[in-house]
Structure 1
Amino acid sequence: MNETCSLSDNQDLFVVAIDFGTSYTGYAYSQRDDFEKDPLRIMGMRIGSTNNHVLAKEPTSVLLTPSDKFYAFGKSAEDIYAEKYSSGETGWRLFKYFKMNLYNTENKKTNREMMIEDCKGVPMPAMEVFRMLLRHLKETFARQLEESMNGISDDFIRWVITVPAIWDDSAKQFMREAAEKPGMKKSKIILALEPECAAMYCGTKSLQLRPTLQRGVQQFIGPGSRYMYVLLDIGGGTIDITAHEVNKDFLYDELFAANGGPWGGDNVNSAFYEYLCKIFTKEKFLQFCQNSPDGLNDLEIDFERKKRIFGGKKDVDNKYIVIKLPYSLFKDFPLETPRDLAVIENDKLKIPVNHMQAFFETTLNKISTHIREKMRNKELENINKVIMVGGFSIANIVKDHLKSIFPGDTKFLCPDNSEIATLLGAVIYGQTQIHKLSPQKRECSKQTIITPMINSRRSRYSYGIDSHICFNPKKHPINKKFKDGMEEFCKDVFWVLLKAGSILHPTLKGRMSTFTIDKTAKTLDVDIYRTESPNPKIIDEPECYKLGTLVVDMSEDVGTKNREIQTGLQYNDTELSVFAINNDRMIKATFDALSTV
């Protein structure tokens, strides 16, 4: 958890953003001086073995040697793995789509010991895989930077790592620790929320359009407007949704806590695979996936291409969507397959359009239900603008479906570079964090374009501690009643420190006084709970669980009984932080959301 991270220094020369996606990952960067002149002067990472530095991302695939050493990342990792496997070297390990393991549902909490599986189902500590990929990206950037200038130390680099808005605090802490392990300095790491980054890119981009286009775009995201912004992560595991009001100074105020769910494009891929299992049987298809990694790669690429363009008039008029099948799969095509399920012609699988539509149906319905629920919020009554970014939003069927959810007068914006809007916005977000901390320098800087900034957020959760209060039979469950002497109390009361939906700003701190009974105690341990309910009553209510333990250092006052300590929580930008006060002075406090206890 981020207890000491400070952005007070302003010596950073570079901002490097890593967009760590479910399906695709990449980095981009900019120099501080360039940002002041042109905020969109952003450079990309080197792809493959060429000298091309492009604004793009690579598949989130990590290849390890048989001895579990990092070997390759991206498309090359997939290709090398397929080559090794076909030549009989089966000890190599490929990890794909592993980011979604950090998404917590049904009170599942991320922890340091969690395991993830490679493509063959063999487990490995998740922290190791995340660490190795982040180290590779860090070292790749260092080599790229050395080609143009020497002697730039880590002290002059600010790292921005994107995280979905729907991640909880334990997943955020996991990502931060994974970044610190390969040498990214704790005070130089910023975690940025994906939909906010995309919003900042769109806002910045609008200011660099020619006047005739600028006026139209700024009706969406210019000062004084209100808009609903929808992000569908590329190929992704998630969709993040947020809404902002933009004031005259181009500051963004969040209207409700950013949220969403695991309804990204990978669910469509899963539906396609289930369809293939129905045709070939599950056993044969899984054998194909394991024994023909090169064929599986080709199948995924072709389907991804068809998925993104599906839904236009041409597809509606056609009866089939055609997918090329690898030989190792189409040779086993069952001849008795009904034609209304699939048709085979040579190595081409012809999928009836109604089945292709069905691949999207469940995912789009979940997105629709969630958006409609959020649009009931009174804060959103007058919003009629929607921005869509991310690879999954490119699909025609997705665009058309989303447009059907909103009222007929809703305006939609799909910006250029929507697939990398989050990546580009993360660079801008990091630069604004640097520049906003030095108002005097910002005033006299050469920056000619005012960039948007996040002014306030809303808390997604209520945070609190376990307490007890006087028992009230009208309010409290009878099974929580206990006696202390002659008085009756209610135990397990959720004492709220930060309330779900509250506006988060640097001065908002939730605090409570507590006492140490044991005068020999060197620490004070306080359990922290969280829930999405704005008005929790008891700590064991449904959807409420222990997030972690706040540990206060009491070593200086050992021997004193009933020591009063003020403990509390606050949000520093996107991360939860803790504090403790003893006799009007701050004392050391730590918080661990990754403990398995």
Structure 2
Amino acid sequence: MMRGNDSTPHDPSSESGSRLASEKSNKLMVAAIDFGTTFSSWACSFRHDYEREPTKILVKEWNSGSSISSKAPTTALIRPDGETLDAFGYDAEDKYGKLAESDDHKDWYYFRRFKMSLFKDKSLTRKTTINDEMGKKLAAIKVISLVVSYMKDDLCEEVKLKIAGAILPEDMQWVLTVPAIWNDKARQLMREAAVQAGISNKQLLIALEPEAAALYCRHIPLELKEFDGTSSIVPLSPGTRYIVVDAGGGTVDITIHEILEDGNVKELYKATGGAWGGQEVDEAFNQFLIKIFGAPVLRKFKVEAMEDYLGLFREFELKKRKVSPNGKEDVTFSIPASLLEIFTESTDETMSEAINQTQFADNVRVIKGNKLRLDQSIMRGFFDRSLRSISYHLQTFHKDQEKYGISLALLVGGYAESPMLRNAIRESCSSWKVLVPDGASLTVLKGAVLYGHDQSDIVFRVARYTYGVHVVKAFIEGVHPKEELVVNDLGERLCRNVFDTFLTEGTLVRYDQILYKCTGCRPLLSKYDYVNIPIYASTKKDTKFITNECCFLLGKLKVTGLDTSIACSQRKVDVIITHKGTDLHVYATDTRSGRELDAFIDLLD
């Protein structure tokens, strides 16, 4: 807690508070990790290549056994000790399947698509656990750090094979991607997991996925393909306002940008979105299977025949990408013998009999005893919930053209390659030009590499919340509520629990802008060599007290290393909070000596 008369808020809109400077990296290489819900990968580029040809980026190639892919499933197989990553991606899927065949898998940890846990859990801590496919728990930060460590080591090994001489750790700038709609706690957990994985905090940047994708799109020709077969190149010129729809496996991130006269970018509206990604389509298919076979059968199938279970959903993953709004061909799935066996033993029914008791009786047929043939209407139906959510949300921005002035939509991410999603956006937002860049699934990853080379491209961002600190101020009769009145041991009448705003929700924040200054902050007790300043956030613009329902504790600004040899009254600290890129940054100095102190914002318990 701080005394209010010791703090000096800074006007966020003041130009004098900006210390914008070129943020181009001087590192020899930038390495980016796109940690996705469904798929992940890494990419990198050297500074000399970036300066000559920014889009010359090396992307990892993964061997799936039958083909080469630029991304691998976000799947981690951890040994029974809970400490050692044994395999990742396709290798993890294959090995776990073999372990399950011999019934040796029960003590192993097998995590798939676990990233969404960080989005759903609003009270993340360093002890937050996540469940593997069999319900066993491990700390989320441990699982993420093991995966990041694997990706880091894999990247470094491959780079060694491609160049003569080693790249030293201090010569590398690392970038980790996160959804723009994630809260501050989730971002910090990802950062700390990366640090645990061996990446220096000073050499780590967090890139917001839709921003990274938009950055890459500005470096490539954007071809607009019309329904009549014609195409044209659409430039992102100054004055253009566009919406970025980053549609991944888990979340759909939506941001709105405007290109300024100097070529830089201003965010026009805070990031929005939801859990409407491709995983929603997978869940609809899962519910379809439950209606036919029953939930107990599916659970037993997953436990006893994991390899077949994964194979069935891998087949669906491939076939859902080809579903189109006007498609007429039926889609056939091979049902694993293990599922049929469990189903027959559990129900004494045939698949045909089970289907005839559902709403799918007219649109799903059994072929050759072990295949399901689905009408295209059923396949399109799996997309309904996801597409409705996305379209409804986008229409908010489409309808108010006067306010947002959007002329085109950049559709990126793995889900962007679905014809169903493209068509849904074209139909619901008919006045927008919808652009899907080639290789849409890699735009975030490649854009993260570009962001690592130069972070100053986006010069204005919009605050998602109203931020403030917990202070005590002199009590003013008729202004402050009596229930907040306290009298200290000096007889001073004070108002407690005051929310002292330093950044208002919806405010444009310039890169590296000073948001708050606190001069003369003191420890609460004479024995303390540190200062803790509680930072709060609010969902409303006009928040007066931290006790308001709309207000929540974001974390604590901690300053350590104060000199305890001097009197507590002289042990004062000057603190500055700035907004740098995607995070709040803090600088602290000893008021008397001017010595820089260790300071950080801790959002996790």
SS of equivalent residue, structure 1 residue 268:
helix
> What displacement does 1:240 show?
0.7
* Residue 456, structure 1, aligned to residue 460, structure 2: yes
Matches within 5 A, 1:393-472: 393-406=416-429, 408-433=430-455, 453-469=457-473
- AA paired with 1:533? K
Relative to structure 1, the CA distance from residue 482 to residue 361 in structure 2 (aligned partners, 3 Å threshold; closer, same or farther) is farther
- Cross-structure match for 2:546: 539
Structure 2 counterpart of 1:501, from 500, 506, 529: 506
- Cross-structure match for 1:146: 160
> What displacement does 1:390 show?
1.4
* Residue 491, structure 1, aligned to residue 496, structure 2: yes
Unaligned runs of 5+ in 1: 1-5, 210-214, 437-452
Pairs aligned (count): 557
Q: Please tell me whether the aligned partners of residues 232 and 389 of structure 1 are also in contact (alpha carbons under 8 angstroms).
A: yes
Structure 1 counterpart of 2:131, from 106, 117, 120: 117
> What displacement does 1:385 show?
0.8
TM-score after normalising by structure 1: 0.85
Q: Please tell me whether the aligned partners of residues 586 and 601 of structure 2 are also in contact (alpha carbons under 8 angstroms).
A: no
Relative to structure 1, the CA distance from residue 477 to residue 534 in structure 2 (aligned partners, 3 Å threshold; closer, same or farther) is same
Relative to structure 1, the CA distance from residue 481 to residue 281 in structure 2 (aligned partners, 3 Å threshold; closer, same or farther) is farther
> What displacement does 1:462 show?
1.8
Matches within 5 A, 1:211-360: 216-219=232-235, 221-233=236-248, 236-315=249-328, 321-331=331-341, 332=343, 333-334=350-351, 335-338=353-356, 340-341=359-360, 342-345=364-367, 346-360=369-383
* Residue 185, structure 1, aligned to residue 230, structure 2: no
> What displacement does 1:412 show?
0.9
> What displacement does 1:531 show?
2.5
TM-score after normalising by structure 2: 0.84
- Cross-structure match for 1:443: none
Structure 1 counterpart of 2:117, from 91, 95, 101: 101
> What displacement does 1:375 show?
5.1
> What displacement does 1:161 show?
0.9
Relative to structure 1, the CA distance from residue 37 to residue 20 in structure 2 (aligned partners, 3 Å threshold; closer, same or farther) is same
Which whole-Å CA distance do the structure 1 matches of 2:601 and 2:404 have between them? 39
SS of equivalent residue, structure 1 residue 277:
helix
> What displacement does 1:165 show?
0.5
Q: Please tell me whether the aligned partners of residues 169 and 593 of structure 1 are also in contact (alpha carbons under 8 angstroms).
A: no
- Cross-structure match for 1:441: none
Which whole-Å CA distance do the structure 1 matches of 2:604 and 2:50 have between them? 40
Which whole-Å CA distance do the structure 1 matches of 2:410 and 2:373 have between them? 34
Which whole-Å CA distance do the structure 2 matches of 1:498 and 1:533 have between them? 11
Q: Please tell me whether the aligned partners of residues 104 and 110 of structure 1 are also in contact (alpha carbons under 8 angstroms).
A: no
SS of equivalent residue, structure 1 residue 508:
strand
- Cross-structure match for 1:595: 604
SS of equivalent residue, structure 1 residue 121:
coil
- Cross-structure match for 1:579: 587
Q: Please tell me whether the aligned partners of residues 529 and 544 of structure 1 are also in contact (alpha carbons under 8 angstroms).
A: yes
Which whole-Å CA distance do the structure 2 matches of 1:28 and 1:523 have between them? 40
* Residue 62, structure 1, aligned to residue 68, structure 2: no
Q: Please tell me whether the aligned partners of residues 407 and 432 of structure 2 are also in contact (alpha carbons under 8 angstroms).
A: yes
Structure 1 counterpart of 2:392, from 354, 369, 378: 369
Which whole-Å CA distance do the structure 1 matches of 2:50 and 2:69 have between them? 16
SS of equivalent residue, structure 2 residue 431:
coil
* Residue 569, structure 1, aligned to residue 584, structure 2: no
- Cross-structure match for 1:387: 410
Query: Quick one: percent identity of the two aligned structures?
Result: 30
Relative to structure 1, the CA distance from residue 95 to residue 140 in structure 2 (aligned partners, 3 Å threshold; closer, same or farther) is same
- AA paired with 1:381? Y
* Residue 522, structure 1, aligned to residue 524, structure 2: no
Q: Please tell me whether the aligned partners of residues 530 and 545 of structure 1 are also in contact (alpha carbons under 8 angstroms).
A: yes
Relative to structure 1, the CA distance from residue 56 to residue 475 in structure 2 (aligned partners, 3 Å threshold; closer, same or farther) is farther
SS of equivalent residue, structure 2 residue 383:
helix
Deviation string for 1:167-196 (max 9, x for gaps)? 122211111121122322222111111001
Unaligned runs of 5+ in 2: 1-20, 225-230, 344-349
Q: Please tell me whether the aligned partners of residues 518 and 561 of structure 1 are also in contact (alpha carbons under 8 angstroms).
A: no
- Cross-structure match for 2:52: 37
- AA paired with 1:269? D
Q: Please tell me whether the aligned partners of residues 17 and 27 of structure 1 are also in contact (alpha carbons under 8 angstroms).
A: yes
Q: CA RMSD in A?
A: 3.0
- AA paired with 2:461? R
Q: Please tell me whether the aligned partners of residues 290 and 298 of structure 2 are also in contact (alpha carbons under 8 angstroms).
A: yes
Q: Please tell me whether the aligned partners of residues 550 and 589 of structure 1 are also in contact (alpha carbons under 8 angstroms).
A: no
SS of equivalent residue, structure 2 residue 206:
strand
Relative to structure 1, the CA distance from residue 347 to residue 250 in structure 2 (aligned partners, 3 Å threshold; closer, same or farther) is farther
Of 294-303 and 551-560, more deviation after overlay is shown by 551-560
Relative to structure 1, the CA distance from residue 99 to residue 544 in structure 2 (aligned partners, 3 Å threshold; closer, same or farther) is same
Relative to structure 1, the CA distance from residue 464 to residue 374 in structure 2 (aligned partners, 3 Å threshold; closer, same or farther) is farther
* Residue 79, structure 1, aligned to residue 84, structure 2: no
- AA paired with 2:471? S
> What displacement does 1:94 show?
1.4
Q: Please tell me whether the aligned partners of residues 255 and 379 of structure 1 are also in contact (alpha carbons under 8 angstroms).
A: no
Q: Please tell me whether the aligned partners of residues 414 and 441 of structure 2 are also in contact (alpha carbons under 8 angstroms).
A: yes
> What displacement does 1:284 show?
0.8
Structure 2 counterpart of 1:172, from 178, 187, 194: 187
Relative to structure 1, the CA distance from residue 511 to residue 358 in structure 2 (aligned partners, 3 Å threshold; closer, same or farther) is farther
> What displacement does 1:351 show?
3.6
* Residue 14, structure 1, aligned to residue 32, structure 2: no
> What displacement does 1:419 show?
0.9
SS of equivalent residue, structure 2 residue 301:
helix
